[in-house]
């Protein structure tokens, strides 16, 4: 049941683990909401690391021709939300994650993919991605800019 969903998460997980995101949890929301299938919730140790993780995910997914519908919170770096349609990533600076407690809010959502997450994290430690070590300069390329809704933009 989860195999197709888990397979779709691999690029997200590889990119997050390459920048050393921690405590990654996959929440299956398919039976609970209609706007997304999965929340990936993860922690980082600083606002700078939050920006680095978000930037690396954006760049790596772009290599797979996957572009975000929207990204919010990068400037502050406390809680970065990356909306990829069926997958929504929540990158939290740890104290903020504890405060908002998304896992508690979505307590009815099954957790899955723990073995896959651990495997990808271990792989990232043993075989670091050189691109993940590059300096972070968060800038939108014109073709990366999400479309603004006329009513909200």
Contacts of 105 (CB under 8 A, 6+ apart): none
Domain ranges of the chain: 3-112
* pLDDT, tens digit (0-9, with 9 covering 90-100), for 33-84: 999 999 999 999 999 999 999 999 999 999 989 999 999 999 899 999 999 9
Model-level pTM?
0.82
Pick the CATH number of 3-112 from 3.30.590.10, 3.40.30.10, 3.60.20.10, 3.30.460.10: 3.30.460.10
Angle at 58 between CA 133 and CA 97, to 5 degrees: 85
* pLDDT, tens digit (0-9, with 9 covering 90-100), for 88-141: 999 999 999 999 999 999 999 999 888 888 988 888 888 777 766 665 555 545
Distance from C-alpha of 150 to C-alpha of 153, rounded to nearest angstrom: 5
């Amino acid at each position: 049941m989860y195999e197709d969903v888990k397979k779709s998460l691999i690029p997200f997980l590889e990119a997050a683990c390459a920048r050393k995101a921690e405590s990654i949890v996959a929440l299956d929301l398919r039976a609970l909401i209609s706007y997304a299938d999965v929340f990936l919730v993860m922690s980082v140790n600083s606002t700078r690391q939050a920006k680095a993780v978000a930037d690396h995910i954006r760049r790596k997914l772009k290599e797979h021709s996957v572009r975000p519908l929207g990204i919010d919170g990068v400037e502050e770096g406390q809680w970065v939300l990356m909306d990829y349609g069926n997958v929504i990533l929540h990158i939290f600076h740890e104290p903020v994650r504890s405060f908002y407690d998304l896992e508690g809010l979505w307590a009815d959502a099954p957790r899955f993919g723990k073995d896959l997450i651990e495997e990808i994290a271990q792989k990232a430690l043993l075989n670091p991605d050189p691109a993940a070590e590059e300096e972070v300069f968060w800038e939108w390329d014109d073709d990366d800019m999400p479309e603004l809704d006329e009513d909200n933009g």
